[in-house]
Amino acid sequence: MERPYFAHPTAVVDEGCEVGRGTKIWHFSHVMDGSRIGEDCNIGQNVVVSPGVALGRNVKVQNNVSIYTGVVCEDDVFLGPSCVFTNVVNPRSAVPRKDQYRETLVCRGASIGANATIVCGHRIGRYAMVGAGAVVTHDVPDYALVVGNPARQAGWVSEYGHRLDFDASGIAQCPESGQAYRLEEGKVERVS
């Protein structure tokens, strides 16, 4: 029976994982038992997807990304080259803490830049953008742009990834899509 997904001959796809139709898994990647990958995903070279990880539909994972147990990525998430997730707050080699993994949720449409580190136990909001090299140590709001170490909010972005400049009435428009957004009480929502 033919697989509904593509895996490069050097990739290791363990028995007991789920991989959706149309997904591509590239060179030297390892998809481990108990992980779930949705349809039409792209798993770049040298990626590890650990047990219990769940990736939604159309998730793009660039080369050299480590996705550890406890990470959930919703649909349309982008994980930039060499970004990494943690799953224990205070790891020690001599102290077993597999029962203390903390969940990290990356919500629909969010993008995480190259070499960013996501400390476990946080939520990356819908369509948020984490800048390259950022170290996320707290929740990131929907549509927020965060940069630096530790990551701090530097603005807001549209669903197309453009910075939003809000007028006096709290309305901004994406220059590419024309979609309108409202900023109210420190939260952004799309209004068109």
> Which pLDDT tens digit goes with each residue over 61-80?
999 999 999 999 999 999 99
Count how many residues are written for the chain: 192
Q: What angle do CA 72, 181, 54 make, to 5 degrees?
A: 5
Between β-strands 152-156 and 54-55, what pairing exists: parallel, antiparallel or unpaired? unpaired
Tell me, what DSSP letter sits at residue 92? B
Tell me the C-alpha distance between 119 and 140, whole Å: 12
Contact 57/20 with Cβ under 8 angstroms?
yes
Residues of the chain with CATH 2.160.10.10: 6-157
What is the secondary structure of 35-60 as a DSSP string? Answer: -EE-TT-EE-TT-EE-TT-EE-TT-E
pLDDT digits (tens, 9 = 90+) for 161-192: 999 999 999 999 999 999 999 999 999 999 97
CATH superfamily for domain 6-157:
Hexapeptide repeat proteins (2.160.10.10)
pLDDT digits (tens, 9 = 90+) for 3-32: 999 999 999 999 999 999 999 999 999 999
Considering the chain, what is the average pLDDT of its residues?
Answer: 97
